[in-house]
Amino acid sequence: MSIAERMITRHIMTRGVFTPGKKTFALALMLALAVPVSAKLDTDKVYEPVSPTVEQARANILIARQLQFTHFRDMSINDSLSGDVFDAYLNYLDGQRIYLTQKDIDKISAVRSGLGSALKTGQLQPGFDIYNLVQQRIIERLEFALALIDDGIDKLDFSADERILLDRSDADWEADREALDALWVKRIKNAVLAQRLNDSDDGSIKEALRRRYEGQLKRAYQARSEDAFQAYMNAFTGMWDPHTSYFSPRTSENFNINMSLSLEGIGAVLQSDNEYTKVVRLVPGGPASKQGQLEPADRIVSVKQEDEEKPVNVIGWRLDEVVDLIRGPRESTVTLEVIPADAPDETVTETIAITRDKVKLEEQSASKEVIEFERDNDTYRIGVINIPTFYADFKAMQAGDPNYKSTTRDVRKLIDELKAEEVDGVVIDLRNNGGGALHEANDLVGLFIEEGPTVQIRNSNNDVQVLNDEDPSVAYDGPLVVLVNRMSASASEIFAGAIQDYGRGLVVGSQTFGKGTVQAVRPLNHGQLKITQSKFYRVSGGSTQHKGVIPDIEIPSRVDKTRIGEDALDRALPWDQIEAVPHARYFDFSGIIDELRKRHDNRFEEHPEFSLLQKEIEFLKQQREREYVSLNLEKRKEHHSQIERTRLTIANARRDIHGEEAFESLDELDDWQDQQAAEPDNADDELDFIIREGGNIMADMLELDQRMASILNPKQITAQAQAR
């Protein structure tokens, strides 16, 4: 019996995790993989395969039980699921299909249909064997890349009419090692071209690429049992929905720190995205949000500390290691090199310096301003309330502090101030508001309606709980517009949906995120399980899940909906509908909505900012639709020049709108952006045209129906409701 066979047999027979009858399955996988216990490559280092522990096996069994009996989605662990777990696991380990070959896939496919039953009973060895194989293939590829670089990047041919597929997630696996070699030559060429186009010389490029691949190689050799277990469990839990996931003990610690908002860092939520670490969202009031350059869907290329000369390339790093690198002491500076979310390709990067700090509750607070509109002989004063998150100082509230801060309490004060300033209408800005405290969304709706339901919550047993506003008082009964965008999620969607269902105001902007599920974190013997246990529904019965809130008047956005949003996530729970709950209808906009949309469209057709936005969206769409990029130097230069010309043209068009002098070069534009980021307090704070358009729509409402003020009188609403 080989060493590997003895290892698996000992694991099966001594740990009490597998039954003797399951031994055949584990041995079959080992023989199919034909992976030695230690693989020595062209180096003095040896990869030592990782093995599962008893604690991990027990956690696996607990996770399987929780998923089957407590998750909102009723789903069994069967042979069909086995194949899906197999595919998801490979996608997690080699999502771009650049490490494994078709020959490898053929070998490991022997166990494809057996993973479900193995996961039910804590048989982790199959998943670990696949993980070990992938790690060895990663090492082989990185060794190949380093050898190619050492041979001289000047020997690479950039004159041929070659191209490379940008996204290989749906590509065929390369047939064998020779075909994979050819693919990796193209990958190295693409990496070299990208840096040459950013004006790096070959010496710097060679050094940068060596650091990148050596760093990845070092981490491949340092693979840990917990890395394999977390990857395998998340492929498994992800079958139920994208928000259900396993946290290892270390990840649990990071999660708990983030939830307490005591983390000293940049205030950004990150996740793995193939070889990159991607920004999911920014914490309102956090350093990154205040600095203003980092955006959701940006991908991090490198991280540099203020006391280091050179950045550390983090492509291919584990998420927890990238988090540790970005985290640091308060008032220190970390510099991120990112590929912006709206970058036309990976050759465009941006350097962002962020000073670390704690996220302060007061910097997440709601704020207000008043804008004025001249219409014929009338002047309309519109109050704008910006709500970056749904927050509450739970500690102060539990301590009995009568002045504790919360979204609802702060907005009530702002409304009183705006009424004292005699505004004609109010715009609530929820753009980029990712949610927060559910009870605050409930209470905030209550500021604008009399008593009534605000949201329904259905659990896995189909029991429905209805949250209500039980306070009959109304803080504001005048005209209302709610601004949303793709980054408005969860509690924001509950508020916007309720305002829309009650006919209390108009929702304006772009389709929201569609996060309509509720998760609970449950402790395990080893780590934690974050599991989806219920779902939000509007008072009209429709779920906010997947579909989000569709605005009454839509404004296009630069955000790519195929990359950001619930419907862009694999296995997201679907939209559905339950019975509506009785609720009042404050105003019927059907009589004026067509005219409001017509006026909005006409205004935007004539608005230079909107015209420019449309050009930007079309340009980005064209770039995103490109499947291939050329590896021919001259063709690549021409494409890069075209991108730079377009960026400069758009930037100068915006400068012209504001009566500012045009930039003569892209370098001048980049320098100006760096200066603005370094001095955010001095940045151009001109009211953005989306807020102004919200105010214009409000003014249209007032013009089209002067009766609104009286219709929205709470006493008349009550009388109308009784009459119905």
Single pTM value for the model: 0.84
Q: What is the pLDDT of residue 253?
A: 56
Q: Which residues are catalytic?
A: 490, 501, 515
Q: What is the pLDDT of residue 198?
A: 82
Paired with 272 in beta bridges are 277
- List Cβ<8 Å contacts ≥24 apart for 252-259: 252/527, 252/528, 254/320, 254/323, 255/521, 255/528, 255/530
Phi-psi map region of 331: left, alpha, beta (phi>0 left; psi -120 to 50 alpha): left
Phi-psi map region of 452: left, alpha, beta (phi>0 left; psi -120 to 50 alpha): left
**Residue pair 456/578 in contact by the 8 Å Cβ criterion:** yes
- Tokens standing for 109? 């496919």
Can you spell out the DSSP letters for 162-174?
-EEES--TTSPPP
Distance CA 93, CA 169 (A): 12
Distance CA 507, CA 473 (A): 23
- List Cβ<8 Å contacts ≥24 apart for 672-680: 673/293, 674/351, 676/292, 677/291, 677/292, 677/293, 677/352, 677/353, 678/353, 680/290, 680/291, 680/292
**Range 210-222 burial, b when 16+ CB lie within 10 A, else e:** eebbebbbebbbe
Tell me which residue of 575, 571, 574, 568 sits closest to 237, measured CA to CA.
Answer: 571
Which phi and psi angles does 225 have, rounded to 5°? Answer: -55, -40
Q: What is the pLDDT of residue 329?
A: 86
Distance CA 483, CA 713 (A): 23
Distance CA 581, CA 583 (A): 6
| DSSP-derived pairing of the beta strands 452-459 and 528-537 | antiparallel
Residues 6+ apart with CB under 8 A from 555: 508, 509, 510, 604, 690, 693
Q: What is the pLDDT of residue 722?
A: 42
Can you spell out the DSSP letters for 20-87?
GGGHHHHHHHHHHHT--SSEE-SSS-EE------HHHHHHHHHHHHHHHHHSSS-----HHHHHHHHH
| DSSP-derived pairing of the beta strands 464-469 and 553-554 | unpaired
Tell me which residue of 549, 442, 536, 553 sits closest to 486, measured CA to CA.
Answer: 549
CA angle 237, 241, 244 (to 5 degrees): 50
How far from the centroid of its chain's Cα atoms is residue 384's Cα?
Answer: 27
Cα separation values, 505 from 23, 426, 465, 481, 594, Å? 64, 10, 25, 5, 15
Instruction: Report the SS3 class of residue 723.
Output: helix
Can you spell out the DSSP letters for 606-633?
H-HHHHHHHHHHHHHHHHHT--EEE--H
- Tokens standing for 681? 């307090």
**Residue pair 154/111 in contact by the 8 Å Cβ criterion:** no
Q: What is the pLDDT of residue 256?
A: 44
- Provide the CB-side half-sphere exposure for 188 (13 A, CA): 28
- Tokens standing for 16? 């009490």
Paired with 379 in beta bridges are 374
Instruction: Go through the domains of the chain in sequence order and give each one's CATH number.
Output: 3-237 (no CATH), 262-355 (2.30.42.10), 361-590 (3.90.226.10)
Instruction: Report the SS3 class of residue 218.
Output: helix
Q: What is the pLDDT of residue 44?
A: 66
- Tokens standing for 154? 């000047």
**Range 16-36 burial, b when 16+ CB lie within 10 A, else e:** ebbeeebbebbbebbebbebe
Instruction: Report the SS3 class of residue 379.
Output: strand
Distance in Å from the first CA to the final CA of the chain: 83
Distance CA 418, CA 679 (A): 30
Distance CA 715, CA 713 (A): 6
Tell me which residue of 463, 385, 398 sits closest to 431, measured CA to CA.
Answer: 385
Distance CA 442, CA 481 (A): 18
Tell me which residue of 392, 444, 391 sits closest to 414, measured CA to CA.
Answer: 444
Tell me which residue of 274, 300, 246, 322 sits closest to 94, measured CA to CA.
Answer: 274
Instruction: Report the SS3 class of residue 325.
Output: helix
Distance CA 488, CA 549 (A): 9
Paired with 466 in beta bridges are 456
Can you spell out the DSSP letters for 444-479?
HHHTTSSSEEEEEEEETT--EEEEEE-----S--S-
Residue with tokens 């989605």: 73
**CA dihedral for 244, 248, 249, 250, sign (positive or negative):** negative
**Residue pair 318/219 in contact by the 8 Å Cβ criterion:** yes
Query: SS3 breakdown of the chain: % helix, strand, coil, rounded to 5?
Result: 45, 15, 35
Q: What is the pLDDT of residue 360?
A: 65
Per-block average pLDDT, block size 10, for the chain (724 residues)? 35 34 41 43 76 97 96 92 96 95 96 93 96 97 96 94 93 97 96 89 92 90 94 96 90 48 67 83 82 88 89 84 86 90 74 83 81 86 94 82 89 97 96 91 96 96 95 95 95 98 97 95 94 97 97 90 89 96 94 94 86 84 87 92 88 87 86 67 58 92 67 44 40
Tell me which residue of 561, 406, 414, 593 sits closest to 491, measured CA to CA.
Answer: 406
**CA dihedral for 18, 24, 25, 28, sign (positive or negative):** positive
**Range 536-546 burial, b when 16+ CB lie within 10 A, else e:** bbbbbebbbbb
3-14 vs 125-150: helix axis angle to the nearest 10?
150
Q: What is the pLDDT of residue 289?
A: 83
Instruction: Report the SS3 class of residue 673.
Output: helix
